[in-house]
Structure 1
């Protein structure tokens, strides 16, 4: 027999009615409805009591009926390029934090960096009646822009700026950040600089970071040597490893290399160690993103720090604001960054 201190759970909620929830909480049915539908504010104490009654009874609101009344499903569609990259894990955590605060849920999909796949996912999200969409795209091609234009729900783009201001974007100033880390290498006295870049079809992490590197060299009057510029098609350890291997095949090697991300820098570092080239005395290295491994490898990496969590948080906040008030257009947001100097570029270490 259950004690009175342990409230009876009525089961899976299949036959539980909203009337039973109201009776257990000691409130009216309309008050329960206000809390579950978020139609009108109630006190925190009352809200807590009603939600506890919902949990104890196992009551499951009719989501379909509620969405028809509210014209909302309470679900946000999120599209990311890949799942194993820690950057996107942090980004999703930021989105989830905001969604949870607004009693919404996210439906996550992985595009594998394929614009056609992204367009298909947008159509699926539209058909499933998502309240809104957050898209982290590596590139925004014409087909994807057309798919975005066909969306009848609000959306926010992460990481890329749209040429046409169709929707708010949240992004990092990759060009400026790459300019700053390259300028740091030049300030340290390194004059012969190379770069291992990501794919240039990735406008933000690939092309813009290369452009920032080039701008810094041009400003200082330093030459850009083609044999020290290596484009890779990914942002992985192996890309950095193979990229450094390619650079070292040149007749003369640079005295510093900027890598488009920390994982590439770690791969480049491994190849330098295998080649007997010390870092930074034989060659300096700098990365981007300040992933956890940047402070674990030896020597620790000079890099650019920014917050994927904040990027996801800001994007979700923009979207939620539009959902709550469609008249809010929402402007673009630039996420701040910071140069973090460590031993991989310091000749004093």
Structure 2
């Protein structure tokens, strides 16, 4: 049996008896085509089963209607919720999404950005805490707009959508101090990341300062972003005699909570925890984790909408968007209301 050939733009033009340019104008939504001709072309496209190739269209329009998304971990609930917001808005504006996973490895992040650029994507959304100089230089060399979602660059130059991490961590720290804790630990990712060094740490220190408590670097812990890392850092928190913690990741917070309970600490009576991402991990455990509430879907959706404007050379009034955060009162804090 002979394999059925895929219909091409040449087949459509031949069927209708028009030029390739006319078919191209109809496919790309150009209004400079007579309605009767447009209808014949659309009928031929349907009859022949012609599917315009996005890359081929891009050769003429300079657009591929494709955007790239760089994610540190496609299985991480925080980033997957951001990605859902991105994908829904991309679909609304008729963009396809190319998703890349980097395991938050700077080398893979650089490769991912370069690979997406080689595919002539119209824009890129970058997620992840790691933005070292090589990654930033690669982004700067891309001939397409790049927007950060849930990420920050140290200079604050790249367009981004986030919450106010300084204010959120300050509020969480103050809440635990009001609950009679003077040894509150801060658990973050690596301090070389701008979001930790210049935002979470600054918020934590501001919360301590507001309560006239001196900063003690023995209560500052940097760790990787998974459950086992939470178990490991919990041993150090326990040894430091901290009685509460503000934690940057839900899986890490779960590891800390389970370690404390396994070693005779009651949560929240003996040890209070506030996590930061408010994913499903925060509500499937017992007790449920109190958390800073981030509008994760909205962060992704707003980042994608900003990208559509940049790709169309529209004016963007605010390139550093901060969405409001909340506080979710649950079982790992006592009387968490101000």
8 Å Cα contact 2:188-2:221 kept in structure 1: yes
Deviation string, structure 1 residues 82-105 (Cα, Å, up to 9, x no partner): 222111111111111121112111
TM normalised by structure 1 equals 0.82
Q: Would you say 1:93 and 2:84 are equivalent positions?
A: yes
* Partner in structure 2 of residue 336 of structure 1: 324
Q: Would you say 1:134 and 2:122 are equivalent positions?
A: no
* Partner in structure 1 of residue 7 of structure 2: 14
User: In 2, Cα distance between the equivalents of 1:196 and 1:235?
Assistant: 10
Alignment equivalent of 1:237, drawn from 202, 220, 227: 227
TM normalised by structure 2 equals 0.84
- SS of equivalent to 1:285: strand
User: In 2, Cα distance between the equivalents of 1:56 and 1:305?
Assistant: 51
In 2 relative to 1, CA 164–294 (structure 1 residues): closer, same or farther, beyond 3 Å? closer
In 2 relative to 1, CA 257–13 (structure 1 residues): closer, same or farther, beyond 3 Å? same
User: In 2, Cα distance between the equivalents of 1:297 and 1:93?
Assistant: 24
Q: Would you say 1:112 and 2:141 are equivalent positions?
A: no
8 Å Cα contact 1:21-1:32 kept in structure 2: no
Deviation string, structure 1 residues 9-33 (Cα, Å, up to 9, x no partner): xx7743684369989xxxxx99975
Deviation at 1:153, TM superposition (A): 1.5
Deviation string, structure 1 residues 276-303 (Cα, Å, up to 9, x no partner): 2111111111111111121221111111
Deviation at 1:238, TM superposition (A): 1.4
Moved more, 219-228 or 335-344: 219-228
Deviation at 1:171, TM superposition (A): 2.0
User: In 2, Cα distance between the equivalents of 1:159 and 1:72?
Assistant: 26
- SS of equivalent to 1:271: helix
Alignment equivalent of 1:279, drawn from 264, 267, 273: 267
RMSD after superposition:
3.3
- SS of equivalent to 2:151: coil
* Partner in structure 2 of residue 217 of structure 1: 208
**Long gaps (5+) in structure 1:** 1-10, 24-28
* Partner in structure 1 of residue 116 of structure 2: 125
8 Å Cα contact 1:94-1:310 kept in structure 2: yes
Alignment equivalent of 2:182, drawn from 179, 191, 199: 191
User: In 1, Cα distance between the equivalents of 2:222 and 2:50?
Assistant: 56
In 2 relative to 1, CA 271–62 (structure 1 residues): closer, same or farther, beyond 3 Å? closer
Deviation at 1:181, TM superposition (A): 0.9
**Long gaps (5+) in structure 2:** none
In 2 relative to 1, CA 81–55 (structure 1 residues): closer, same or farther, beyond 3 Å? farther
8 Å Cα contact 1:14-1:59 kept in structure 2: yes
